[in-house]
Amino acid sequence: MKIFRRIVPLVLSAVLLAGSASALGAGGTVNNTRLAEVTLADAAVPLAGASNTLLLPVASGTSVKKNSRAIIDYSNTQDGYVMVQFTASTSKKLKVQVSGPTRDKPYYDLKPGEWTTFPLSDGNGTYKVTVFENTTAQKYAEVVSVTFKVTLSDEFAPYLRPNQYVDYENATNTLAKAKELAGSETDPLKLVEKVYTFVVNNLTYDRQLAATVQSGYLPVLDNVLAAKKGICFDYASLMTGMLRSLGVPCKLVVGYAGTTNPAYHAWISVWTKETGWIDNAIYFDGSTWHRMDPTFASSGKSSSSILKFIGDGSHYKETSLY
């Protein structure tokens, strides 16, 4: 394994955002049918911080649940994803809930009129996918839902394709840059090194965006690449998209970093045949991998205290995988 040559810095005092919402009541109708309402909080935005075949999601249409307003395509659950489209006309806010067998139930925003891909990142088991439409304030009514069992083709199937949080399907410049960085290299760890080094050396932390970003923000990878700056979500999504496009399984991990006042944050984990999942990788010192956190690595001054913080897994608490 080649030691990562250099770890560029980071600033822990970045402005971070944690979303909040208050709970409200019930009532409402969809298609003239009265449905119970639930209260859905907007998502916080994480701020702080091997193959030539491009695998893309497809709505195959072999297993679907639909009505006059929305459709859920769960034809390719073995590949770790489900696709949703809100087909009716609406100006109301839409959300999708993906409930897995063990993890908390994440809520995603949904745009009407287009297919959106969501990961099945909770392993094998029973999932429930539900589409909600806003009624009033933070109250939502269920539009359509489906429950299905998932047996993944392998454990990293959800981490080899684009999804809503790592959307590189039409990111032409990002895909081209990843291929350029890879060159003729096929070794997964060397590809990780090339992409990681590029991201931490070429992106800077966008404090203005961090101070103004709103719930529902999603990285647009070509825009991040062109601007050469972003928040932690952008860093992690860009690197994840590049690596997945090269056939290297990669998780975008969202959770909290810090001990006294934990901040909502995002980082990555990678997989190779030789190592399995590397959940604590930022560089290899000859015997140990240290946490791979591209935001922290690029924003500071490569101080020993920063590297110690990054390498100490106790400072990180994972909540979601994308």
Look at residue 114 in the predicted model and tell me its pLDDT.
95
Same domain, 211 and 113: no
Q: How confident is the model at residue 38 (pLDDT cuts 50, 70, 90)?
A: low
CATH number at residue 113: 2.60.40.10
What pLDDT shows up at residue 39? 64
Residue 210 CB: number of other CB atoms within 10 A? 20
Q: Say which DSSP state 243 is in.
A: H
Whether the pLDDT of residue 259 is over 90: the answer is no
User: What is the Cα 135 distance to its own chain's centre?
Assistant: 27
Residue 103 resides in a domain: yes
Asked whether residue 180 carries a pLDDT value surpassing 60, the answer given is yes
Distance, in Å, from the CA atom of 243 to the CA atom of 196, rounded to the nearest integer, reads 9
At 316, the pLDDT band (50, 70, 90 cuts) reads: low
Which residue spans within the chain are E strands per DSSP? 29-30, 33-34, 37-39, 64-66, 70-73, 81-86, 94-99, 107-110, 116-119, 125-136, 139-150, 204-205, 229-230, 250-257, 263-272, 276-278, 316-321
Tell whether the model's pLDDT for residue 57 goes beyond 70. yes
Angle at the Cα of 24 from the Cα atoms of 23 and 26, rounded to 5 degrees:
135
108 pairs with which residues across the strands? 96
Same domain, 144 and 196: no
Which stretch, 136-140, 252-256, 317-321, has highest mean pLDDT?
136-140
Q: Mean pLDDT check: name the lowest of 34-43, 122-131, 209-218, 276-285.
A: 276-285
Structural domains of the chain, count: 2
pTM of the model: 0.75
Q: Calculate the average pLDDT of the chain.
A: 78
Q: Which of the listed ranges 27-36, 82-91, 196-205 does the model predict with the highest average pLDDT?
A: 82-91
What pLDDT was estimated at residue 106? 74
| pLDDT given at position 9 | 29
Average pLDDT over every residue of 17-44: 44
Claim to verify: residue 177 and residue 310 sit in the same structural domain: yes
Answer yes or no: do 77 and 103 share one domain: yes
For residues 3 and 85, give the distance between their C-alpha atoms in angstroms, rounded to a whole number.
44
Share of the chain above pLDDT 70, in %: 68
Note the pLDDT tens digit of each residue in 186-203: 988 888 888 888 987 898
Q: pLDDT grade, residue 1 (50/70/90)?
A: very low
Q: Residue 162 above 60 pLDDT?
A: yes
Structural domain of residue 112, as residue ranges? 57-154
Is pLDDT at 13 greater than 60 in this prediction? no
Average pLDDT of span 277-295: 51
Inter-residue contact 194 to 3 (CB < 8 Å): no
Instruction: Say if residue 136 is in the same domain as residue 215.
Output: no
234 within domain boundaries: yes
